[in-house]
Amino acid sequence: MKKIKLIQKSKKGIYWPSEELKKNAWINKNTIYKKAEKDPVKFWENLAAEGIIWDKKWTKTYHEKHPYFQWFIGGKLNASYNCLDRHLKDKKNKAAIIWEPESPEEKNRVLTYHDLYSEVNKLANVLKNLGVKKGEVVGIYLPMIPEGQIAMLACSRIGAIHCVVFSAFSAESLKYRLKETRTKILITADGYYRKGEILNLKAKADEAVKKTKVKKIIVVKRTGIKINWKKERDFWWHDLTEKADSYCRPKIMDSEDTLFILYTSGTTGKPKGIIHTTGGYLTQAYWTAKWDFNLHDDDVLWSTSDIGWITGHTYCCYGPLLNGATSLIYEGMFNYPQSDRWCEIIEKYGVTVFYTSPTAIRMFAKHGDNVKKFDFASLRILGSVGEPIDKEAWGWFFQNVGRKRCPLIDTWWQTETGGTLINSLPGIGPFIPTMAGRSFPGTRLTIFDDDGNVLPVNKEGNLVQLSPFAPGMLRGVYKNPKKYLETYWNKFGKGIYFTSDGAWKDRQGNFRITGRLDDIIKIAGHRISTAELEDAITRHPLVAECAVIPQSHEIKGSVPIALVVLKKAKPSLKLTREIVKQAETFIGPIARPEQVFFVEDLPKTRSGKIMRRILRNILADKPVGDISTLANPESVEKIKKIVSKS
Ligand code: PRX
């Protein structure tokens, strides 16, 4: 598309789509919201019929029985067929995946829709030959290489459930997921590149599978490093796929059959397996990708998330592929080997949609002197996800990357929601710094006070979703219906999904997300629970107790700070290092505490509950508030002293 101005500014500093953008947009009339609101079930029914190819039409569109609901009941389809086979007629030679390796010296890979189709079919046959059956869980522990998407689609082709685990998660994290899902087959790689170094992923996988049900490991040769090999258990991906048939008949699945499980942090010490089903998830993935990013045939979408997170599932894999678009993935760090590597990638591939996180944007801005020299004329849409975007980051991104001509779409959603739920549509707007936009057509998000009353405009409260629930929403927590009920449905009762986020809404229905209301920290956009970290740290033999508190951070948004009470031991640098290591061992490097404070005691109520509010205030250098209910008020001054010395 030629370089055109895609937005215009109103007097109040609010941006709107230009006439050109409106003309080119799939959705450009405000009336869509009203129309969808009148009958959301009918609205989604029409979208499912238009966007997805079904082997058999559903008999009932929506059914809800608190706290469960279903979409397109009786409908039959296959996810990989929808992402691949449907495009073979007219998009066979179009790039489906462009992969950029970390090293600029190494050759990139481009997989056309036909290439991807045949790779997926071959791996699907391999999995079948290894005995994988419909409904079984296959573990995927891969870096950002096309084999990640191939593996996901191969699972869906044969009706297996994929459970992708972020490659930077520790062996312990992987083990937990493998054990809970009783996974028998794991797909991993020998290693991958991080800032020029090779990390041995297979060693972590070897460690993780001990004392699990994993019987076979398929290994992608990414680096060629020496790895441990168990003859009967380990197989090279290339050996198996080389001999496999290049067609595998897609398994016809029920709309409500599970497509994948993705683990995410909750408020307890253990992550929970979020269940997504087929028909509803694909419908939401298709339409949100198409409308949010105004995807057309000439688009190259770069969603910078790792496939180990929900954004990677929906907007690196299913969303763009369902739409027959080109999905760009990059193996390495944005700033390697030099800080403007990400700019080079946008320029090199003519990226049109750039979807990233506020943390990445803040990092770009910090080292952003060079940005101006790059040609970003290909860009049409900028997207942000994962954390609230501050005014500075919004302004910098909009001005320096979008060059004041691209709309910036702030998308709010969660692992649980499967696809975006709040954002401004490019052809409608408005694009207001720090405001995420409106509830997606056909969805009903609103703000409640703690008693379940709808709050008026501009009043901050609990962000909730009302029935009927969006089709891509979670259908349960794996093997834990109690957790499902307690986390999402108990706070406000029937027909109300609690998001655990705080927010307020303006008169026009645009939401401002203010952040999590529970003990989840967004560290550089990654979701980690303080309880999980506390659990990891207290496993150290010399730690008696610990509290992990989020503290705001200039680049990462927030970082964890650990306050640790030792058993009979003296604080030391060695112990600090060991405690940081605990987070790495049990979760992964992203969860490393930024600072560790050794304290004598933590402030507690008489019933023994740690008063995190007080600790948060101490760390933020704010007045601590009422401490009269504490069993040990003297602890407060002592902690203040230790913190102020740092
Ligand atoms: O707190 C919200 C924040 O990220 C949480 C969901 O995290 P996760 O399941 O890892 O999924 C992230 C990617 C979809 C939410 O509860 N969040 C997500 N998007 C935004 C956001 N906070 C503010 N603005 C957003 N656009």
3-state secondary structure 513-556: EEEECCCEEEECCEEEEHHHHHHHHHCCCCEEEEEEEEEEECCC
> Using CA positions, which residue lies closest to atom 21 of ligand 1?
387
Helix, strand, or coil here: 158?
A: helix
Q: How far is the C-alpha of 516 from the C-alpha of 502, rounded, in Å?
A: 6
Residue pair 274/263 in contact (Cβ under 8 Å)? The answer is: yes
Backbone angles phi, psi at 286, to 5 degrees: -60, -55
Q: How far is the CA of 285 from the centre of ligand 1 (A)?
A: 16
Q: Per the structure block, which two tokens stand in for 477?
A: 């927590």
Quick check: 558 and 516 in contact, CB under 8 A?
no
- Ligand 1 neighbourhood includes 385 CB (under 6 angstroms): yes
Is the distance from the beta carbon of residue 420 to the nearest atom of ligand 1 less than 6 Å?
A: no
In angstroms, the first-to-last Cα distance of the chain is 54
Instruction: Report the predicted TM-score, pTM, of the whole model to 2 decimal places.
Output: 0.96
Q: Is 437 left (phi over 0), alpha (psi -120 to 50) or beta?
A: left
Ligand 1 in contact with 412 (CB < 6 A)?
A: yes
Closest residue by Cα to atom 24, ligand 1, is 388
Q: How far is CA 403 from CA 73, 304, 359, in A?
A: 46, 20, 20
- The reply to whether ligand 1 has any atom less than 6 angstroms from the CB of 292 is no
Three-state helix/strand/coil letters over 130-147: CCCCCCCEEEEECCCCCH
CA–CA dist 105, 193 (Å, integer): 13
Alpha helix stretches (DSSP H) within 248-298 = 278-292
- Contacts by 322-325, CB closer than 8 A, 24 or more apart: 322/51, 322/52, 322/82, 322/83, 322/282, 322/285, 322/286, 322/289, 323/286, 323/289, 323/290, 323/295, 324/86, 324/87, 324/91, 324/94, 324/113, 324/297, 325/289, 325/295, 325/297, 325/299, 325/300, 325/301
CB of 410 shorter than 6 A to ligand 1: yes
The Cα-based distances of 95 to 82, 108, 109, 112, 143 in angstroms read 16, 13, 10, 4, 20
How many whole angstroms from 166 Cα to the centroid of ligand 1? Answer: 17
The residue to mutate among 439, 473, 522, having the most atoms of ligand 1 within 8 angstroms of its beta carbon, is 522
The Å distance, Cα 508 to ligand 1 centre, comes to: 22
Task: Give the distance (Å) from ligand 1 centre to CA of residue 33.
Answer: 23
Residue with tokens 């992923």: 201
C-beta neighbour count of 628 within 10 angstroms = 6
- CATH code reported for the domain at 520-644: 3.30.300.30
Tell how far the Cα of 571 is from the centroid of ligand 1, in angstroms.
36
Q: Is 264 in the pocket of ligand 1 (CB under 6 A)?
A: yes
The answer to whether 189 touches 219, Cβ cutoff 8 Å, is: yes
For residues 527 and 275, give the distance between their C-alpha atoms in angstroms, rounded to a whole number: 17
Q: For 38, phi and psi rounded to 5 degrees?
A: -60, -40
Amino acid 71: pLDDT: 98
E-strand stretches of 234-280? 234-236, 253-254, 258-264, 272-277
Q: Report the residue among 284, 303, 385 best suited for mutation to probe ligand 1: largest number of ligand atoms under 8 A from its CB.
A: 385
Residue 527 CB less than 6 A away from ligand 1: yes
Q: Whose CA is nearest to atom 26 of ligand 1?
A: 412
The per-residue pLDDT for range 551-593, each reduced to its tens digit, is: 999 999 999 999 999 998 999 999 999 999 999 999 999 999 9
* DSSP character at residue 30: T
- What is the position in ligand 1's atom list of the atom closest to the CA of 416? 9
Answer yes or no: is the C-beta of 639 below 6 A from any ligand 1 atom.
no
Cα dihedral sign for 417, 422, 427, 428? positive
According to DSSP, residue 630 is labeled: B
Burial label for 75, CB within 10 Å (0-12, 13-18, 19+), is buried
> Which residue's C-alpha comes closest to atom 5 of ligand 1?
414
pLDDT at 2: 52
Q: Is the CB of 414 under 6 A from ligand 1?
A: yes
Rounded Cα distance, 546 and 556, in Å: 23
Q: Cα separation of 545 and 299, whole Å?
A: 52
CA distance 229 to 244: 22
The backbone torsions φ and ψ at residue 418, rounded to the nearest 5 degrees and listed phi first, read 75, -40
What tokens were used for 9? 């500014």
Pocket test for ligand 1, best of 439, 513, 528, 529 (most atoms within 8 A of CB): 513
CA nearest ligand 1 atom 15, residue: 414
Point out the residues of the chain with pLDDT beneath 70.
1-4
HEC states along 107-128? CCEEEEHHHHHHHHHHHHHHHH
Distances (CA, A) of 293 to 44, 64, 277, 349: 19, 30, 23, 17
Supply the residue whose CA is at minimum distance from atom 11 of ligand 1.
414
